[in-house]
């Protein structure tokens, strides 16, 4: 199945801010939600500019969210571009069939209170690309691991199929994680609302599914 990308309908006018076709742009629905937790999005290079991608929605909505594009980094401090980071207070969102849903597990199996976390790391891409990021960054194993089990299928519906029912979009994962960490539940509600709007506008516009990318000159640079 192809992926809907922002360059799929080149004749349509595009939003200068989000670069999506204006018929599906949701910049008018973006709300800023201050949070206590930081969110770090590691995006696979091939996930850039996908029309139904949700990373940019998170960046626009969460002041403490940061997006970096690439395949591998030395450690968490490197990707955050900070001298020191307490990895004990960060968790990565990645499925763990052996852990209970809604549990954060630290090294050596120690259960961590999600409210004690400073930040969350999420891998942005299709499931196969997320696994690539996981295996290419062994330092992720030094972080606690957050295991989520969504109560309902992804808002994507049939527009973007996932290999398993419990696999949802980056936005839905982060929204649920923030709630688990004690952030206001209306943040999750608001994030999912704007995502539903995007999905509905794409459906209403009846955009074709393509597999082309935007020209490299207009794409975001990769991080070192």
Full-model pTM: 0.87
User: How far apart are the C-alpha atoms of 140 and 76, rounded to whole Å?
Assistant: 8
How confident is the prediction along the chain (224 residues), in pLDDT tens digits per residue?
A: 345 444 444 567 888 888 888 999 999 999 999 999 999 999 999 998 888 899 999 999 999 999 999 999 999 999 999 999 999 999 999 988 888 888 999 988 899 999 999 999 999 998 899 999 999 999 999 999 999 977 788 888 777 665 555 578 999 999 999 999 999 999 999 999 999 999 999 989 887 544 333 333 334 444 44
Measured at the CA of 126, the angle between CA 75 and CA 160, to 5 degrees, comes to 150
User: Coil, helix or strand for 132?
Assistant: helix
Measured at the CA of 23, the angle between CA 21 and CA 152, to 5 degrees, comes to 95
Task: Give the single-character DSSP code of 100.
Answer: P
N-terminal to C-terminal alpha carbon distance within the chain: 31
Decide if 10 contacts 54 (C-beta within 8 A). Answer: no
User: How far apart are the C-alpha atoms of 89 and 71, rounded to whole Å?
Assistant: 23
Closest alpha carbon to 146 in 181, 190, 192: 181
């Amino acid at each position: 199945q192809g992926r809907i990308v922002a360059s799929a309908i080149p004749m349509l006018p595009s939003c200068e801010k989000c670069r999506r076709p204006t018929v599906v742009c949701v910049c008018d629905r973006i709300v800023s939600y201050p949070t206590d937790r930081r969110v770090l999005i590691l995006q696979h290079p091939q996930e850039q500019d996908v029309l139904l991608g949700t990373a940019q929605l998170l960046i626009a909505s969460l002041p403490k969210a940061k997006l970096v594009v690439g395949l591998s980094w030395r450690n968490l401090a490197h990707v955050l571009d900070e001298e020191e980071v307490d990895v004990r207070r960060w968790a990565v969102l990645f499925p763990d069939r052996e852990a209970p849903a809604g549990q954060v597990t630290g090294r050596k199996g120690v259960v961590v209170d999600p409210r004690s976390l400073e930040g969350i790391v999420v891998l942005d891409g299709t499931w196969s690309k997320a696994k690539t990021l996981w295996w290419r960054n062994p330092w992720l194993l030094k972080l606690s691991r957050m295991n989520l089990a969504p109560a309902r299928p992804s808002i994507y519906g049939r527009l973007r199929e996932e290999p398993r029912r419990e696999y949802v979009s980056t936005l839905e994962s982060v929204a649920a994680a923030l709630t688990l960490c004690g952030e206001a539940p209306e943040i999750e509600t608001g994030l999912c609302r704007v995502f539903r709007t995007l999905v509905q506008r794409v459906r209403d516009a009846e955009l074709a599914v393509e597999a082309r990318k935007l020209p490299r000159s207009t794409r975001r640079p990769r991080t070192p």
